[in-house]
Amino acid sequence: MQVDLQSPWRIGTVEIPSRLVLAPMAGVSVQAFRRQGRRYGAGLVCSEMVSCAGLQHRNERTLGYLRIASDEHPLAVQIFGSEPVTMAEAARMIEAAGADVVDINFGCPVRKVTKTGAGATLLDDPQRACRIVSEVAGAVSVPVTVKMRRGLENGSRTCLDVGPRLVEVGAASLTLHPRSAKQMYTGFADHSLTAELVERVDVPVVASGDIAAPADARALLEQTGAAAVMIGRAAQGNPWVLREILTSDSAEPNREEVVAELMVFIRETARELGEQRATSFLKKFYGWYLGRGRFPRQFKAELTQLPTIADVEQRLLIAAPGAADVLEHLEAELPAGEAIELDLPISIYGGG
């Protein structure tokens, strides 16, 4: 059955306006990234993983302060940890902060997370995983969702056993990235597991992994019966892929459009993180935005060596002078998106 990617769907009481979910990605999913994703058509955007221990201890050495802008909604805030009571308390704080959905990470394969008993490790401890979901679902009135991998080992089918149990104790939706934790991001996502999971649960399933083009998204929804698709790495520095997937509009942005969008992202990130932290944080984005044959590799490398954001902006406008007019129009059309700064430090750990 053909699925309209622009049709709405629901997670519990929350209506999602499109079948496209922007993935939670550590070191990427800052507010500027999420707001951009909403502008380009993502129906649901997600924060990167929030450390429940960080929330409990107000650890200021973590990434920073979570901000939620009015134009991000609907927004899911993702939490990770291994202690049910601590995670329930964190979920209460997340709900109070204004999140529409609390997402629990049972998918992160990164060693510094799994060694604490969090992330993908919990798939091998289904009793604890179920206690976590039950405690969190009982602590908040917003929907609780879970993002998971297929299991720890290659060939694992653990997700098909654990997923239905998580739904029984309160999960309103599941996202499956059908790679093993051992695979990390190598090989391929086995979406036959996604189709099987859809058959086993009566809540929406979001398909994640190896989706980079309209054909990928539409085929995956038709083949698996999933409610939506999650886009991650394909959208890094390339918000146009979201529009392309939703509308099949494959028009490539010109150099001026790329530079203008990058400059909006730079300014929003600097406002959010502060000039000093943003200067370092943004360097990886230069390659993502200006790659794909849009600018020479030497130019991207040059930007990473510039000492200030003002220097970067000046160099970008020299390379694409027409971007100044595009930028002016783009900034004039941006939603106001009043930001709320919260005393909630979030993790610097890698995402699932």
**Active site amino acids:** 108
Quote the tokens at residue 147. 């993002």
Quote the tokens at residue 42. 């993502």
80 φ/ψ angles, rounded to the nearest 5 degrees: -140, 155
CB 208 within 8 A of CB 232: yes
- Residue 71's contacts (CB-CB under 8 Å, 6 or more residues apart) are 35, 38, 335, 336, 337
123/150 Cα distance (integer angstroms): 8
CB 241 within 8 A of CB 254: no
CB 223 within 8 A of CB 199: no
How is the chain split among helix, strand and coil, in percent rounded to 5?
Answer: 45, 20, 35
338/47 Cα distance (integer angstroms): 17
Taking Cα atoms as reference points, which of 83, 44, 37 lies closest to residue 175? 44
Q: Where are the alpha helices (DSSP H) in 98-233?
A: 111-114, 126-139, 158-168, 192-200, 214-224
| Burial degree of 145 (CB within 10 A; 0-12, 13-18, 19+) | buried
83/213 Cα distance (integer angstroms): 38
Q: Which residue has the tokens 């160099």?
A: 315
229/28 Cα distance (integer angstroms): 19
CB 106 within 8 A of CB 122: yes
Q: Which residue has the tokens 């999960």?
A: 171
